[in-house]
Structure 1
Amino acid sequence: MLSVEAFSLNIMIAALAPLLGAFTLLFLFIFEKRIDLLEKQKREIALERELQTALYNQLNQEIQPHFFFNTLNSILSLARLDRKTELIRSIETLSKLLKFKYLTNSTFITINEELTYVNYYLEIQKIRFRDRLHYEFSIDPNVTQAVTIPFFIQTFVENAFKHSFEKYSGEAFLKTIIEKKSEEVHITVWNNSLESLEELTGERGLGLENITKRLNLVFPNGNTSVQLINSDNGTSVIAIFPFVLISEMKGR
């Protein structure tokens, strides 16, 4: 015969067995649901990355046609003025720019690479504007290998020509300052034109909105800003974004 203790233990096991089974099934159900949720989140993250990449490429394409159109316009003006030597030089420079552009097919590049674009563009414009154009760079050597987006500084420089130097006569002064402050890159592109508020917030403002969106895609968790400032001595565009070396970005 079973003792009272053994009988009580059997009764307890019999009573608890269904509960243990139910808890086990509940645990497996919750675990399975958790796995499904993680898989769903993984797919959503992958989809979000694809959408961001597509959006970035779309925004990037909005910039490039304007740049090439304006550059070709500069070359066309040389042809109309029959400035053959300068025309040949400008075509050679454009060829170098195009070669560099299509060898660099990335969503981000270094500041040094971006400045290569800018120098090609300014070389063409110097041929066109001759002694009227004056430009200078002040570059912190610590930022040359920092990450930026293609046609970033180029857009600011191009805006100075499109909205200022091409509209108004007189000396054209352009200054670009690139420096590291704390853990941020600060870029200032200044020109000596005195534009009205309406001009600053028109078509030019749309181009800067594009730049801001592209910066947010590359640096989603960092502090980014783009500002237009109109002062007594000219117009400035000031951009701020996180300081990230190209080697760090590629390792992410």
Structure 2
Amino acid sequence: MRSRGQSWEATRDRISEEIAAGHLAPESRLPAEPDLCLLYNTRRHSLRRALAALVAEGKLRVEHGRGTFVERAPLINYVVGPRTRFRENLMAQGLTGSGQALSEAQVPASARVAAALGIAPGALVTARSWRGFANDLPISLGWSYHDVARFPDIAERRKANASITQIYKTYGIADYRRHSTTVFTRLANEHETSLLMMRPGQSVLIVQKIDVDMDGRPIGFSEAAWAGDRVQFTFENADARGTPSERTDDV
């Protein structure tokens, strides 16, 4: 007896999940109907109904004579200000923000990191990397660096504190400020393309920042690579009241 195959609802949900996860990239063209039927174990009429539903939801578009394409999702508007917080930024747009720790180790500072932190090249720094998600879609990779001489056990203290602001307070730094923010674009390297589920040849938006204590001494340097086709940035003016704020390493 021939299998009935997957229902149109299940087919719709599978395609939708693959779009959300970045497995079906924006502007990519879907395979022909016979291939899709085999791929999703569904019959042609169920496939067509599933595709029609996704078109109605704005996730796909049909270009007559060319095929069916994944629609480009609206850009995430990431607000950078005195209270930049990753999860709250995304929550305001109906998205769930989450992070995945990738690595944390003490390594010799490169010339670039040493210059940012005002230490000698080769001095030990705690280097941490992570990946940020909006729903299930990766949108950023981040790296942060702290001088081991000043913050000898920051990795351990990180386990007990949710924000970098609270961690700094345990070292006697009551408040701090952003000294500089540098933003530029470049082509994503192979590592970034893989972790951000991007197509080769796409660009990432690089955001570098240096934080200093209230005496102007550098305390942290971080860099983030953001998927350039998924995020735009809005930079807000500093809080006029100058009150301390909760900040994270994310931007």
Report the TM range for the smaller structure's normalisation: under 0.3
Q: Which structure has more helix as a fraction of its residues?
A: 1
**TM-score with structure 2 length normalisation?**
0.23
